[in-house]
C-alpha cells in the first residue's frame, strides 16, 4: 500500500498486491478500491497482480476542494501508472470508474493498457441530451446530489438500496454504506455532477484494445440499454457480457461469474 503524488500535489492512495499480470481497478461512486475485495481474493489466488486506486476525494486518497472532472480523474490514473511503470494492464472500471476508464483510454492514448473491462460503466452518457433522449431525466439524479449536500448518510443508504438485484446481508449493506461515508462531501457532490453531465461518446472512437462490457440486465443506475449496449456498439473491439441476475452491483450480485470472467479475460 502506498500513496503516489500526482501533478497538483495530491496524494492518491494505491493498493498494489500480487506479482502476475496486472489488473488495475477503478471504483464507482461514492465508494473506494475496497469495493473489489472479493475480486482481489479470487484473482490473487489465480496469480494476478491487483492494483486498486482510490480516486481523489475517496477512500484513503487526499480530499482537496476543487476539480472532480473526468479529465482530472484520468490524469491521476495516468500519474499512478507512470509511477508504477506497469505494462500489459487490464484496466477494470466500475460505474464512475468505468467512465474514468473510457476517458483515460482516449485522453491518454491507451497508455499501459492492453485490455479494457467495463463493469456497469457510467459511460458514455447517463442523462438526457438534445440528441440522446434515451438518457435518464436529470430529475432522477438531482435528488442524489441534493441529498449529498443535506444528509449524505441517508443519501448513501438510499443509493445503496438501488445497487443490487439479489438480496444482500444487512452487514454487507452496512459495509457498503461505510465505504461511501469515507468519501468527502464535496467530492461526492462534485463527481456526481460530473457523471450526470458528461458526454463521453467521442471517446469510444479512440478505444482500440479488446474490451469486455459486463453489465447487469436489471441495472437501474446505468441501464444496460443506454450504457452497456451503446458502449458495445461504439467501441470497435467490444463484446457485451450480460449478467442476467444482476443490478448495478454485479460484483456482489454475481461475484463468482464476474471473477471468472475477469480472470479469463485478463489472462
Catalytically active residues are 95, 219, 248
Residues 6+ apart with CB under 8 A from 134: 128, 225, 226
In angstroms, rounded to a whole number, what is the distance separating the alpha carbons of residues 240 and 181?
32
Residue corresponding to grid cell 461512486: 29
Strands 211-216 and 113-119: parallel
Burial 143-153 (b: 16+ CB within 10 A, else e): ebbebbeeebe
Q: Is the separation of the CB atoms in 216 and 243 below 8 Å?
A: yes
Q: Is the separation of the CB atoms in 97 and 55 below 8 Å?
A: yes
Q: Is the separation of the CB atoms in 13 and 53 below 8 Å?
A: yes
Residue 111, judged by CB atoms within 10 A of its CB (0-12, 13-18, 19+), counts as middle
Residues 6+ apart with CB under 8 A from 199: 124, 125, 129, 132
Specify the length of the chain in residues: 267
Amino acid at each position: 500500500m502506498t500513496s503516489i503524488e500526482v501533478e497538483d500535489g495530491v496524494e492518491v492512495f494505491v493498493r498494489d498486491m500480487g506479482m502476475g499480470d496486472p489488473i488495475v481497478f477503478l471504483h464507482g461512486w461514492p465508494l473506494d478500491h475496497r469495493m473489489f475485495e472479493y475480486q482481489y481474493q479470487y484473482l490473487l489466488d489465480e496469480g494476478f497482480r491487483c492494483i486498486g486506486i482510490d480516486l481523489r476525494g475517496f477512500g484513503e486518497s487526499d480530499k482537496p476542494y476543487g476539480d472532480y472532472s473526468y479529465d482530472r480523474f484520468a490524469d491521476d490514473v495516468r500519474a499512478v501508472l507512470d509511477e508504477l511503470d506497469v505494462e500489459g494492464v487490464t484496466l477494470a472500471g466500475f460505474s464512475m470508474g468505468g467512465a474514468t476508464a473510457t476517458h483515460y483510454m482516449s485522453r491518454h492514448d491507451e497508455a499501459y493498457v492492453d485490455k479494457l473491462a467495463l463493469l456497469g460503466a457510467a459511460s458514455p452518457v447517463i442523462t438526457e441530451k438534445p440528441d440522446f433522449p434515451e438518457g435518464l431525466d436529470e430529475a432522477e439524479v438531482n435528488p442524489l446530489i441534493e441529498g449529498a449536500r443535506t444528509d449524505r448518510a441517508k443519501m448513501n443508504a438510499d443509493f445503496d438500496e438501488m445497487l443490487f438485484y439479489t438480496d444482500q446481508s444487512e452487514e454487507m449493506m452496512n459495509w457498503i454504506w461505510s465505504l461511501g461515508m469515507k468519501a468527502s462531501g464535496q467530492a461526492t457532490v462534485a463527481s456526481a455532477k460530473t457523471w450526470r453531465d458528461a458526454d463521453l461518446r467521442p471517446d469510444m472512437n479512440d478505444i482500440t484494445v479488446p474490451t469486455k462490457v459486463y453489465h447487469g440486465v436489471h441495472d437501474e443506475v446505468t441501464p444496460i440499454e443506454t450504457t452497456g449496449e451503446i458502449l458495445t456498439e461504439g467501441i470497435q473491439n467490444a463484446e457485451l457480457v450480460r449478467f442476467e441476475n444482476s443490478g448495478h452491483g454485479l460484483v456482489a450480485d454475481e461475484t463468482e461469474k464476474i471473477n471468472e470472467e475477469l480472470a479469463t479475460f485478463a489472462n
